Amino acid sequence: MARRRVGLFGGSFNPPHLAHLIVAEQVCEQARLDLVLWIPCHIPPHKDEQELAAPHHRLTMVQLAIEGNPCFAVSDVEIRRGGRSYTIDTIQQLQQQQPDWELMLILGEDSLRTLHTWRAPDEIIARVPLVVYRRPGGPDSPVDPRFLARTTFVEAPVLAISATEIRQRCRQGRSIRYLVPEAVRQYILKNQLYQGGLR
């Protein structure tokens, strides 16, 4: 029986928005994945993100965002683990728990260019191949050839939607309609997220 091809799609998802969904769908199709596993982090390792909504809020928003797509699922593996979320720890844990999965790591092109700064990058690429989507505004630094040898590039529509802008709009009382799924928009409003205080 063929192993399930599963793409790991990690991030803070603060909040998840339409560009995330479009990228995940395009990666799933072009890389012929059986499943895209969305993994909200507990605390981002590389940035002290401002206005980071509580983990349970971000997990719920991802669940709402991906509802109805049989090729998407969400994992709370990093949230349950706590602390700063390191990709290598997640890969090791999932490979142990799901030996029948053929894992791949989904990254934006900007993340590929900074992969050498991550924890245990050599072990990451030894354990899983990379599926990288093009993204605007990333650094122009060259990519380490070690990583390119394990990388498949996919094309996704470029949408100028950012979680930073969405949070700013929430603070200013401006509309975020059509930037996030409607269920996520309603959740943000109901829970008064990104209003200047952490909830």
Please tell me whether residue 108 adopts helix, strand or coil conformation.
strand
Residue 197: per-residue pLDDT: 44
- Quote the CA–CA distance of 175 and 172 in Å, as a whole number: 9
Query: Are 57 and 172 within 8 A, CB to CB?
Result: no
Residue 143: per-residue pLDDT: 81
Residues in Cβ contact with 196 at an 8 Å cutoff, skipping those fewer than 6 apart: 51, 171
The radius of gyration of the chain's CA atoms, rounded to the nearest angstrom, is 16
This prediction has a pTM of 0.93
Task: Render the burial of 86-113: b for 16+ CB within 10 Å, e for the rest.
Answer: bbbbbbeebeeeeeebebbbbbbbebbb
Task: Give every residue of the chain whose pLDDT is below 70, as ranges.
Answer: 1, 47-50, 135-141, 196-199
Could you give all domains of the chain from N- to C-terminal order, each with its CATH number? 4-161 (3.40.50.620)
Residue 198: per-residue pLDDT: 38
